[in-house]
Amino acid sequence: MSAPSTAAMNGHWGRWAGYGAILAAALIVPLVFPAFQTQMAFLWLMIVFALTWDVMGGQMGYNSFGNILFLGVGMYVCAVVQVGLHVDVAAYNASMGASALDLTMGQYLTGLGLGLAAGAVAAVACAVVLGAGVLLLLIAVIVIAVAVGLCNWLGLPPVLGVAAGLGAAVFMALRVPALRAHGLLSLRGHYFAIGTLGLGIAAGEVASGWQFIGAGSGMVTPLYPGELGGREQFFNAAAFVLAVATFFALRRLYAGRFGLAVNAIRDDEQKAEAMGLPTTRYKTVAWSVAAVFMGIAGGLVGNIVGFIDPRDVAFAGATYGVWMVLMAILGGKGTIWGPVLGAAVFHITQELFWTYLLGWQRVALGLLIVLIVVFFPQGLLGWVRARWPERFGHRVDSRAAEEAEG
């Protein structure tokens, strides 16, 4: 009786100590080291990257290399909304943002809020379509094209054609279940990983060829209207709020049906199907959950960096795209604290290497990764869990055992 409750108590205290330390860091660092605010903001964003990657990669066992897509989509959509509320986006980008927007604080915040929301919605739409309905998307595009063509021929406004085409596509989606199951999420294991690998690269190519969003020369985000230094403080706070919201939202989801369903899919997807679990729906929801937070994170990254390069900032598969996987594995995938820990260790060591080992920073980073993989293949937290399973609640209920004996 006493042993489990002591362990639970320790876990309780440990958890609150962890929250306290993070909150203290979030509050103190900006005050004591104002120069590190952007680094801090990126730390919170890295935590979001690792946590959202872990929804699929860790908890569900689907290694996605395509989550960077949601970051880029969120980034561009947010910036387009922020600009488009005030001026013509194409003209703004054609002049490389030289027709600088002179916004009031109210206008800026409204634009940012709407932009972040739109980015999240767009990212979720990408997740659903790519995950569950690539075939459906193709059919919808063809139907809409035909309908618009017909409207032109009949002399009707093309909007009517788009509406009719969309209606027909939705109707088909609802009536023909076979169409719904043809997306990336019907791929399993390594096939899914490879299937998603091209997403970020393809999106980067599309973005760097699309004049409307600045093509290869990128897009400048609107200037923050507040006082000097206020921008860093504002976005550091925004990134912290996003990381906290992501953490608690995921923790709540993992504690319920969703968490168990994605774990079941990870452990044995065929068994889950044999038990009647709607696996495709859970997988689509899981990718959408990752997409929501990645989309919002994208909007923030675009505004923190201030300039959206299609390949190096938005669809940066070689940096953020790889790091999110590394950080989750480093900390221990399939746990809630693992990605947080992994992101913190990764980001801090990376910053230290860049400062003190300049020229050798990537070698040092590579060595660190090798060491972690060799000595902690389950990640830092995975190692802790294997050492002390009872601290994670995996123990024989001795009270029940005694009652059974007695």
Q: Please tell me whether residue 279 binds another protein under the rule CB under 8 A.
A: yes
Asked if 253 is part of the footprint of another protein (rule: CB under 8 A), the reply reads yes
Is residue 302 within 8 A of residue 149, CB to CB? The reply is no
- Which residue in the set 112, 219, 285, 343 belongs to the binding site for another protein (CB under 8 A)? 285
| Interface size with another protein, residues (CB under 8 A) | 37
CA distances from 32 to 25, 26, 114, 157, 347 (A): 10, 11, 32, 60, 19
User: Pattern of binders to another protein over 212-231, x per CB under 8 A?
Assistant: --------------------
Please give the angle made by the CA atoms of 267, 317 and 294, to the nearest 5 degrees.
Answer: 65
> Binding residue for another protein (CB under 8 A) from 32, 358, 374, 400?
400
Pair 252, 87: CB distance under 8 Å: no
**261 contributes a contact to another protein by CB under 8 A:** yes
Q: Which of 268, 360, 363, 366 binds another protein (CB under 8 A)?
A: 268
Using rule CB under 8 A, residue 359 touches another protein: no
Based on the shown chain and the rule CB under 8 A, indicate whether residue 251 belongs to the binding site for another protein.
no
Phi, psi at residue 99, to the nearest 5°?
-75, 60
Can you tell me which of 106, 155, 276, 406 binds another protein, judged by CB under 8 A? 276
Among 258, 287, 293, 353, binds another protein (CB under 8 A): 258
Least separation in angstroms between CB 77 and another protein: 22
* Residues between 323 and 352 with contacts to another protein, criterion CB under 8 A: 334
The answer to whether 337 and 54 are in contact (CB under 8 A) is no
**Residue 348: which of 53, 52, 44 has the closest Cα?**
44
| The binder of another protein chosen from 240, 282, 287, 323 (CB under 8 A) | 282
Q: Are 383 and 90 in contact (CB under 8 A)?
A: no
Instruction: Give 75 or 124: the residue with its C-beta nearer to another protein.
Output: 124
Question: Could you give phi then psi for residue 157, rounded to 5 degrees?
Answer: -65, 140
What is the spatial distance between Cα 338 and Cα 160, in angstroms, rounded to a whole number? 50
From 205-213, 295-303, 364-372, 388-396, give the range in contact with another protein by CB under 8 A: 388-396
**Shortest Cβ 224–another protein spacing (Å):** 35
Using the minimum distance from each CB to another protein, give the nearer residue, 86 or 266: 266
Distance CA 36, CA 34 (A): 5
What is the distance between the alpha carbons of residues 194 and 64, in angstroms, rounded to a whole number? 8
Asked if 275 interacts with another protein (CB under 8 A), we say: yes
The residue type found at 261 is A
Q: Which stretch binds another protein (CB under 8 A): 15-23, 108-116, 154-162, 387-395?
A: 387-395
CA distance 235 to 227: 13
245 binds another protein (CB under 8 A): no
The identity of residue 133, as a single letter, is G
Q: Token digits for 15? A: 């958890």
> Which stretches of the chain bind another protein, using CB under 8 A?
252-253, 255-258, 260-261, 263-264, 266-268, 270-279, 281-282, 285, 334, 389, 393-398, 400-401, 404
